[in-house]
Every structure is written in C-alpha cells, then in structure tokens.
C-alpha cells in the first residue's frame, strides 16, 4: 500500500474505494487491516479471493485503488513487488 501511495501521490480524500484479492494460501488476516495503519479509516475497503488456478503464483495480494487523479493512464505507477513482478513485466516501474 505504501509503495502505491507514495509512487502515485495518493491522498485518502481522493480515494473512492480499495479492493483487495488474495491467493488462497493467505488466510491469517484480512488485507483491509492495513486501513488504520495508513490512516484511511473512512475509505471503503473490500476483500476477495483469487481463483485457485493450478501452479499459479502463491502469496500474492492484489490491490486496486480507485482514486481521483490528474495523471494519465501511462503516468500511473503500478507496483509489482517481489515475485509478483513476473505477473506484469510490462508494467514494472523499476526498468
């Protein structure tokens, strides 16, 4: 969350909602637990599960932040961290 917030200059007052999906192996807590840690207490958060496709990457949390911005689609900086970078090499910001 912090990587996305910082890379895109996202402020809570510009966020409509946040949607998380997690792979089936992640079941210790809800990703929305991060809400208080980042101070987004009034932002609606929703969590869902990924489809358990055989041999797919494990331990992945996907986050979709719907926010108001003046950035173009090309200027939005997507964050694929760790092993998740292989999911969308075309959107990696570290190249």
Q: Is the separation of the CB atoms in 12 and 39 below 8 Å?
A: yes
Note the pTM of the prediction, 2 decimals.
0.86
Q: Which of 5-9, 35-39, 40-44, 86-90 shows the lowest mean pLDDT across its residues?
A: 86-90
Give burial (CB, 10 Å; 0-12/13-18/19+) of 41: exposed
Could you confirm whether domain 2-91 is CATH 3.30.1330.40?
Answer: yes
pLDDT tens digits for 39-55? 999 999 999 999 999 99
């Amino acid at each position: 969350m912090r990587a996305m917030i910082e890379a895109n200059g996202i402020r809570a007052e510009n966020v409509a909602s946040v949607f998380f999906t997690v792979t089936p192996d992640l079941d210790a807590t809800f990703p929305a637990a991060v809400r208080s840690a980042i101070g987004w207490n009034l932002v609606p958060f929703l969590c869902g599960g990924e489809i358990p496709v055989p041999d797919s990457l494990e331990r992945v949390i996907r986050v979709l932040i719907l926010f108001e911005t003046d950035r173009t689609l090309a200027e939005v900086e997507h964050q694929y961290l760790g092993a998740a970078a292989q999911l969308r090499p075309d959107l990696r910001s570290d190249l």
